[in-house]
Chains A and B, each alone.
Chain A
Amino acid sequence: MSIAITTQFICFTVLSLVVIIGALGVVLLESIVYSAFLLGGVFMSVAGLYLLLNASFVAAAQVLVYVGAVNVLIIFAIMLVNKKEDLKPINDIKSRRVISTSICLTLLSLLIRVDLTNVWSLSSPQNSIGEESTIRIGEHLFSDYLLPFEVASVLLLMAMIGAIVLARRDVMSKDISTGLPVDQELIEKASEPLLTNKN
């Protein structure tokens, strides 16, 4: 076995172990902060796996989107609402755990079946595009995948407008969660700079 293949094998083993153990940690750990940080580790290792597959652009995009944006926002949200309170004990926790475990195992068996039945070998393994893949991805995004790409962007825009509407209560006449009319005075007070009416 040549040195390159050995290195690749070691990297693959380490990355896979990190992904599996990290993902288990995300689900099983009690502390939500640890879970969030481990999730970042899992995302990074998945990016490493992409790198091993010669898909450097996808790996960098994975780091940028999942680690740099999604995971940072998750941690941000956790820390903004970090209340030190104990979770209420749930009575039927055992049955819930059994149900969720069985659902997860069903999904796992489905994935294993896909893995076993699919033909994974490429028609021409020599035809690896490597560094050129960035250009190919761009070409596909603007030709045959244009519609999904644009639909995804519209969806993200809708989500963003929705988030802004939820965050800025003053554009609405009544509270979304309770249905009560919004206290307009409170909103105006909050939107005024604090220092202007001091003197």
Chain B
Amino acid sequence: MEYGLDLEYSFNEFLKGFGLSSEIAHIIWLPLPMLLVLVAAVVGVLVTVWLERKISAAAQQRIGPEYAGALGVLQPIADGLKLLVKEDIIPAKADGILFTAGPILVLVPVILSWLIVPFGQNLLISNVGIGIFLWIALSSIQPIGLLMSGYASNNKYSLLGGLRAAAQSISYEIPLALSVLAIVLMTNSLSTVDIVNQQSGAGILSWNIWRQPVGFIVFWICALAECERLPFDLPEAEEELVAGYQTEYAGMKFALFYLGSYINLILSALLVSILYLGGWGFPIPVELIAKFLNLPINAPFIQVFTASIGIVMTVLKAYLLVFIAILLRWTTPRVRIDQLLDLGWKFLLPISLANLLITAGLKLAFPQFFGG
């Protein structure tokens, strides 16, 4: 089933046509996907911010941004520009080096994790063998950045926010990893491309959400907690902690936190759609449609069509989940810290462990449905 566009190969062949060696072509190719990821992530954030403003307005029966562009679509860009030109303040008693390094350490792992997000058979930066495990490892770096900025701000609210963020992140990482493990068990591979291909057999019926309903819910709750979204936004609970670890930040450094949290939200939504909702797969398999229309599956037209359908489906599923996350944010109250830790350690952890055990048992009992 090796079909689909391979942009890197065609690009290299194109450059070789000008008489360049394959190594130089590779070096010219290298920055392009990185740039593409940055652009995609930032555009995704702009769209999400606009959605958040509009949906929250609708939830509260307001109009929301209206005058910046049609329906206020330029509002997020205005926000970003405002943050760009704001004065960059480092408090006098703060620790300058750690204060600057904190937001960077929060943002970089999140962007690096986009490495493994596939939009099609060959439409990802790198199909690394450890795939989804790379994301779990990278997301565990984030609490260090939060603790760093919380400590360096020299402010008790910041420190408390940082400590809460780290505690929350550590607690919810374990059920998250366990529910990913159940999927990996079914796929026999850590690679995200293999995970999606495993779900592509019978369209919507073969998606992992039907085989892993418990894992899906556990993963979604944990992903929301890792993103520090309401109902789990304790690290920046306004009424208690001003703004948590972000309290002392202004200008571009604050924007880094802001970007980081929204990129993380989109990334989590993308990963949920890859792990549980069939990734780039169309609800009806594309092979079936091609057969129905009597078209060969390897025709260039069909390949371009498949690739664009793949991108559209991935983004659509991810934004559906982002929509649910935004609705949750504006309709649910915040949990208390003890409720949060109770939920993580006493409910989600045992449930995800049992889910893993049952998945292993079902895999042995029904190898044709749960991956041989």
Contacts and interface: CB of A to CB of B under 8 A. Distances in A.
B166 A72 contact: yes
A53 to B, nearest CB: 14
Nearest to B152: A33
A45 interface: no
A80 B162 CA distance: 11
Given A3-B23, A76-B166, A134-B129, A71 B138 contact: no
Provide the main secondary structure of the chain A interface: helix
Interface in B115-139: 128-130, 133-134, 136-138
Interface string A32-45: 01000100100010
B233 interface: no
B137 A75 contact: no
B143 A68 contact: yes
B23 A64 contact: no
A69 B170 contact: yes
B140 A134 contact: no
Interface in B123-170: 128-130, 133-134, 136-138, 140-141, 143-144, 147-148, 150-151, 159, 162-163, 166-167, 170
A2 B190 CA distance: 31
Interface in A1-26: 2-4
A67 interface: yes
B140 A69 contact: yes
Secondary structure call for the B interface: helix
B168 to A, nearest CB: 12
Interface residues of B, number: 27
Contact of B130 (A56, A68, A69): A56
B138 to A, nearest CB: 7
A124 to B, nearest CB: 21
B74 to A, nearest CB: 39
Interface size band for A = 20 to 34
Contacts of B128: 56, 131
Contact of A134 (B98, B130, B147): B130
A32 B147 CA distance: 14
A63 interface: yes
Interface centre among B133, B136, B159 (most CB of A within 10 A): B133
A72 B162 CA distance: 11
Contact of A37 (B148, B163, B170): B148
Contacts of A3: 23, 27
A79 interface: yes
A63 B144 contact: no
A2 to B, nearest CB: 7
Contact of A72 (B138, B150, B170): B170
A174 B352 CA distance: 37
A57 B166 contact: no
Ranked nearest first, the 5 interchain pairs of A and B with the lowest CB-CB distance are: A68-B140, A131-B129, A60-B137, A64-B137, A63-B137
11 contacts: A33-B151, A37-B148, A44-B141, A60-B130, A61-B137, A64-B137, A71-B144, A75-B144, A76-B166, A79-B163, A131-B128
Given A60-B130, A64-B140, A72-B147, 5 more contacts: A56-B128, A67-B140, A79-B147, A82-B151, A134-B190
Interface of B: 23, 27, 98, 128-130, 133-134, 136-138, 140-141, 143-144, 147-148, 150-151, 159, 162-163, 166-167, 170, 173, 190
